[in-house]
């Protein structure tokens, strides 16, 4: 009989203490803790306040756009970005069979990316002026340095001839390339914004940037992890060739959209360009559908999860169900805009963005963390029958995604500002889910540290008399 999947609790092999400091379990805690801080303190808080400011008429006026742009970057780079990078550092040695390359750069990328997001969050609502411009450009430069450091670590580890990363390596390397690309586009856009003396990046110019962040980096990484972990859990053969092809097709679709969007953003308006942009947007539909098939989440051949982990799989199933919704929406809106040679409407882009941001990325982050992080593995041994936190988070995130995406989809029929109510309520539900998850992670981390300390103490006591 197949054994249940065992989640490894420690890093790769035995290392000397100096090596251990740099290589053994790279600083994923720092990344995850700061990711959750960005989500809870800034990203989801602004997700509640921004819609409330409209329905309750707080008169934010021209501050609304800078604050929602700050929300977008806090979520994509601060929350999801830091989480993904921390997980990439932790997972790469395990599936490539190679130690992390340039581990000092992995450490350095954490303060650089965190500071880049913090500076952006200070600069964006600060209005116009020399300080704001300096902060904005410094944030862009730090973001570029952080992305370069991350990409060097990923490529150094995975492009080595001894790497056994396979298709997952394709996804991760491409995600790292797109992470550098988004940092480059962002830097160019913040410099342009500072030169103009504006306090926001013009939305038409930001379209390409956000597309690269959400689909080139975030979705690419999610497929990379899922195409490795889910077949193992579901007793399916690993889909190497299909997954590699999918990574390349997704990369081509994202790149096409980004080039067309940046071209349109530079002021060129042509029907052909709008059609190319809309077709690349529509292409996400079949790609997401193929991705769901390739990872095999809805066609398991076996159930290899330990009994105590069974319920976490519902978070992963839910994330992939939302991916199907995202695929359906992007195909529908993209084909419609392409047929008319028109812009994809803002509400449509917003709907797909939030289906992926809340339904797919946030749910997947929580689900995967609960399945593979040692903190939660230790928690399962302490509380083997505990189900309520996972099911509560699942219910909160699903309702949040439905409310947020529903409000965007209903925009053409629901023009009154009342449609911001479901968005605000969705924000509150998602904030609740992330607070609960963050509390569980911190408690489990403290418990794990206490367990490790007491094991080390017992080992030291046992060795002491023998040495003497």
Nearby residues of 197 by Cβ (< 8 Å), 6 or more positions away: 128, 133
Q: Binding ligand HEM by CB under 6 A: which of 80, 174, 297, 434?
A: 80
Q: Which of 156, 231, 291, 427 binds ligand HEM (CB under 6 A)?
A: 427
C-alpha to C-alpha distance for 177 and 251, rounded to whole angstroms = 10
- Judged by CB, which is closer to ligand HEM: 72, or 143? 72
Contacts of 428 (CB under 8 A, 6+ apart): 48
- The span of 30-38, 69-77, 108-116, 228-236 binding ligand HEM (CB under 6 A) equals 69-77
Site string for ligand HEM, 376-415 (x = CB under 6 A): ------------------------x---x-----------
The CA-to-CA distance between both ends of the chain, in Å, stands at 47
Listing DSSP states for 305-346 in one string gives S-GGGGGGHHHHHHHHHHHHHHHHHHHHHHHHHHHHT-PPPH
CA nearest to 154, candidates 250, 213, 87, 252: 87
Q: Smallest distance from the beta carbon of 315 to ligand HEM, in angstroms?
A: 15
User: What span, in angstroms and rounded, lies between the C-alpha atoms of 276 and 130?
Assistant: 38
Q: Where are the alpha helices (DSSP H) in 159-239?
A: 166-196, 203-211, 220-234
CA–CA separation, 391 and 149 (whole Å): 37
Stretch that binds ligand HEM, among 19-27, 232-240, 422-430, 452-460 (CB under 6 A): 422-430
Q: Does residue 68 interact with ligand HEM by CB under 6 A?
A: yes
Which x/- pattern over 156-195 shows residues binding ligand HEM (rule: CB under 6 A)?
----------------------------------------
Options 34, 53, 69, 363; binder of ligand HEM; rule CB under 6 A: 69
Q: Of 48, 70, 111, 74, which Cα lies nearest the Cα of 201?
A: 70
Instruction: Give phi and psi for 127, each to the nearest 5.
Output: 80, -160
**Count of residues engaged in binding ligand HEM, rule: CB under 6 A:** 26
Pick the stretch among 18-26, 137-145, 250-258, 353-361 that binds ligand HEM (CB under 6 A). 353-361
Nearer to ligand HEM, 277 or 350 (CB): 350
Choose, by CB under 6 A, the member of 144, 423, 433, 434 that binds ligand HEM: 423
User: Residues 165, 171, 172, 173: is their CA dihedral positive or negative?
Assistant: positive
Residues in contact with ligand HEM by the rule CB under 6 A: 47, 50-51, 68-69, 71-72, 75-76, 80, 203, 206, 210, 350, 353-354, 357-358, 361-362, 400, 404, 423, 426-427, 430
């Amino acid at each position: 009989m197949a054994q249940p999947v065992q989640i490894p609790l420690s890093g790769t092999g035995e290392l000397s203490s100096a090596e251990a400091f740099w290589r053994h379990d790279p600083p994923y805690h720092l990344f995850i803790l700061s990711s959750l801080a960005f989500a809870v303190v800034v990203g989801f808080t602004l997700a509640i306040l921004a819609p409330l400011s409209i329905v309750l008429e707080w008169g934010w006026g021209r501050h609304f756009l800078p604050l929602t742009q700050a929300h977008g970057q806090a979520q994509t780079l601060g929350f999801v970005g830091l989480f993904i990078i921390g997980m990439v550092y932790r997972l790469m040695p395990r599936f490539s069979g190679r130690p992390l390359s340039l581990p000092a750069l992995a450490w350095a990328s954490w303060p650089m990316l965190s500071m880049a997001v913090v500076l952006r969050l200070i600069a964006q609502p600060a209005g116009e002026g020399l300080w704001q411009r300096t902060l904005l450009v410094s944030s862009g430069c730090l973001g570029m340095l952080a992305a370069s450091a991350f990409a060097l670590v990923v490529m150094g580890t995975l492009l080595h001839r001894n790497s056994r990363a396979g298709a997952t390596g394709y996804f991760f390397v491409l995600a790292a390339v797109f992470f550098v690309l988004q940092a480059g586009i962002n830097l160019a856009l913040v410099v342009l914004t500072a030169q103009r003396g504006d306090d926001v990046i013009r939305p038409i110019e930001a379209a390409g940037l956000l597309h690269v962040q959400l689909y080139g980096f975030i979705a690419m990484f999610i497929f990379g992890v899922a195409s490795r972990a889910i077949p193992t859990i579901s007793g399916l053969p690993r889909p190497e060739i299909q997954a590699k092809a999918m990574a390349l097709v997704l990369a081509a679709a994202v790149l096409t959209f980004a080039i067309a969007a940046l071209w349109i953003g530079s002021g060129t308006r042509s029907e052909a360009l709008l059609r190319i942009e809309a077709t690349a947007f529509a292409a996400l539909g079949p790609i997401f559908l193929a991705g769901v098939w390739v990872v095999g989440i809805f066609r398991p051949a076996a159930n290899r999860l330990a009994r105590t982990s069974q319920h976490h799989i519902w978070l992963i199933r839910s994330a992939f169900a939302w991916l199907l919704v995202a695929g359906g929406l992007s195909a529908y809106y993209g084909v419609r805009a392409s047929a008319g040679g028109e812009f994809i409407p803002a509400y449509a882009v917003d709907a797909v963005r939030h289906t992926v941001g809340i339904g797919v990325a946030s749910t997947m982050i929580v689900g995967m963390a609960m399945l593979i992080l040692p903190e939660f593995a230790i928690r399962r041994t302490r509380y083997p029958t505990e189900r309520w936190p996972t099911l509560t988070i699942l219910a909160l995130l699903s309702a949040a995604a439905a409310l947020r995406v529903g409000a965007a989809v209903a925009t053409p029929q629901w023009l009154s500002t009342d449609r911001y109510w479901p968005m605000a309520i969705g924000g509150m539900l998602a904030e609740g889910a992330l607070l609960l998850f963050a509390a569980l992670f911190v408690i489990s981390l403290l418990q794990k540290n206490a367990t490790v300390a007491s094991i080390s103490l017992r080992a030291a006591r046992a060795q002491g008399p023998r040495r003497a």
